[in-house]
Chains A and B, each alone.
Chain A
Amino acid sequence: MKFFQICFSFRGRINRAAWWLLNLPIFTIFAISVIAYDFPTKISLGFIPLLVLAWVHLAVTAKRWHDKDRPTWWVLFHFIPLIGVFFLLSAQLSSGLWILIYLITIINGLWTLFELGFMKGTEGSNQYGPDSETSSESIIDVYISLCGISSIVFVFGIFFFVFKEGAGFLFGGLDIWEFLTSEEWYPTSQVLKENSILGEPEINKRYGTFALILGTFSVTALAMLLAVPFGLGAAIFVSEFCSPKLRETFKIVIEFLAAIPSVVWGFIGLTVMNQLIIAVFNAPIGLTMLNGGIMLALMSVPIIVSIAEDALKAVPDSYREAAEALGATRWQVIYRVLLPAAKNGLLAAVLLGAARSIGETMAVLMATGHSVNIPSGPLSWIRTLTATIAAELGEVARGDEHYQVLFIIGILLFSITFVVNLIADLVIKGIRQS
């Protein structure tokens, strides 16, 4: 059976496993929408996907009844609870009738669940199709393709939402050149423009993100400068030099580093690192790019280590043995054989670490000083794009210009990540071809 047939058609048979696989997510989504959105007391656009899911549920249920050689109309048992609710809403009933409806609903629910979810279908083929237990492969196909499709749907859904919120101002009013090249970030200014034309006084709000873009890139670059040598070095050590016992301990410790929440890193930056940097560098304040860079490096090292270590482990032992047989020293084996053989994986490790740094919000918000400032060195205080969204979105009026600008920053971040990923893809392709 094909995807559409399984999900939407009322013909054919399916087995218990398929019924559960398709229905569990549907039940979950319905439960969430009842709890979180007060469905069905509110009608909105979100209602349409729920109708589609209800259709899928009915179609699958009909096929399950067929599997037990029951006619399609047995699906109507599903409507008994709805009729009960209908009475509840429209008429005052005596308590005896009430209990009766209650009992019927519960018994009906338990019975259908038992029949559909736990009872085998008829053996061999029946009037609706061949035995379902023997043709269960295709449902797994459907399920896996659903998982794949859903990730694409989510990415596009998120992009659509972000774009929708920002689009109005992006195409109607925002000076994109100023947005990208001006360092003046005054989203809530109340000062009147000096040269405002007679009539409507114009308020001098300025949305320039140049300093924020520089901030994001500089702190990420600094973090990578610190994290890449340590991360790759640690990965080589763990994969090539450690005894198995030490390796396990190391991996657990490094993974523990990844489990620390970013707000904790931010707090360490705000308190401990702040004073340390003041003391060591004689800086006026320790909330600087250096502070944020160190925090980001500490957060991305675990990612770099674990991915790079996997890449090194994936190099076949025969490479190492061949090199050693030729008389190469350990260092030569690593430098001349392992690193070139694993370079795709190592590059992926570095890029994922960088992506972690660009996307990080809470730690940089707290540790870098969060100051609109063109960075002039590791000891200057800066502000990143992500931290700006995090700090300001909470108190902004919905639909406001400022609100839309924050979403346009989101679009900007999207484009930056897209370009980084594209470059990474091209680089890896280039490496493969040469």
Chain B
Amino acid sequence: MTKRNWISYAIISIFVFLVCGFVILGRSYDKTEVNGVDKETGRSIIKNKGSDTMVNLAQAWAEAYRGVADTVSVEVAGGGSGTGVAALINGTVDIANCSRQVKDEEKQKALENTGKEPIEFIVGYDALAVYVHKENPLDKITIPQLADIYGEEGNITKWDQLGIANSGCKSDKIIRISRQSNSGTYFYFREALFGKARDFELGSLDLHGSKDVVEVIGRTPCAIGYSGMGYATDHVKMLEVAITSDEPYYAPNLENVIAKTYPIARPLYMYSLGEPTGEAKAYLDWIFSEEGQKIVEELGFVPLESK
């Protein structure tokens, strides 16, 4: 071995040794955060992630909470209910937002992975309104009718089968607007129409986003669709809904949802890993307070019953 070779091998082994030591030490050291506290500002961090339906709400809460507790900052991210649940399973969030209930197998996975079970909180309600074009003469609809329009082997395909003459729609065909098959809204609407007994008929237009649904219906006289109550515009009409034709019809509005008479309203969930403690508990308590629930109403959702 020549002298020069010897030096290069020595350098390489020192390098490898240093890097290994560096990495092993470094694992216990995190640049910005130690035990959920931001090193620079000294604020505690609550990580909050999940449902796109709830992301505006979560953000509004986080902002308002700044004024309540200035030692805490809430980091909000969207990405969909599934993303929130995945983060919960990986143990990378403190609170996950979800517009559907977490499934048992997902709870099981979280328990296996982190040793803690997700705890469920209902933080508000979102009513799904059934929308039609504003010139559609239809005013009300029943759940069985909706099931016959949307369900597999359903037999309502024309507007006159609902007993109306939809003059804006020359072909008289009902155009079904739906959502992509794994959105929380789709899950909930399917559950509300036929539980676990039936699937939607294929051939509906599965749009991407609550806003697009209302947008398209506002421009299409033949269309019917469902989306959050807060998305209504001047170009669409919300139908009154009844459980069966014998029952009374209810419009989607605050009073009916709070009174639980409007049939297609769903809870909005937040999940924590294990019983919440410390800052996360304080944050959830504040969300349930009058102040937190006022924000729910401001954003077009339905607050929990006032106690």
Contact = CB atoms under 8 A, between A and B. Distances in A.
B32 to A, nearest CB: 9
A75 B11 contact: yes
Interface string B78-112: 01111101100000000000000000001000000
Interface residues of B, number: 61
Given A191-B196, A383-B206, A391-B208, A402 B26 contact: no
Interface string B33-59: 000000000000000000000000000
A197 B58 CA distance: 45
A190 B31 CA distance: 45
A5 to B, nearest CB: 13
Contacts of B222: 284-285
B22 A85 contact: yes
A285 B175 contact: yes
B140 interface: no
A370 B208 contact: yes
A395 B206 CA distance: 15
B306 interface: no
A33 interface: no
Interface string A242-286: 000000000000000000000000000011001100100011111
Interface string A65-78: 00000011101100
B223 interface: yes
Interface in B198-212: 198-199, 202-208, 212
Interface residues of A, number: 66
A89 B25 CA distance: 7
Nearest to B181: A188
Chain B CB within 10 A, most for which of A58, A192, A285? A285
B182 A271 contact: no
A79 interface: yes
Interface string A353-374: 0000000000001100111110
14 contacts: A10-B5, A58-B11, A76-B11, A191-B196, A282-B170, A287-B216, A370-B205, A371-B205, A371-B206, A383-B206, A392-B180, A394-B80, A395-B81, A395-B83
Interface of B: 4-5, 7-8, 10-12, 14-16, 18-19, 21-23, 25-27, 29-31, 79-83, 85-86, 106, 169-171, 173, 175, 180-184, 186-187, 190, 196-199, 202-208, 212, 215-216, 219-223
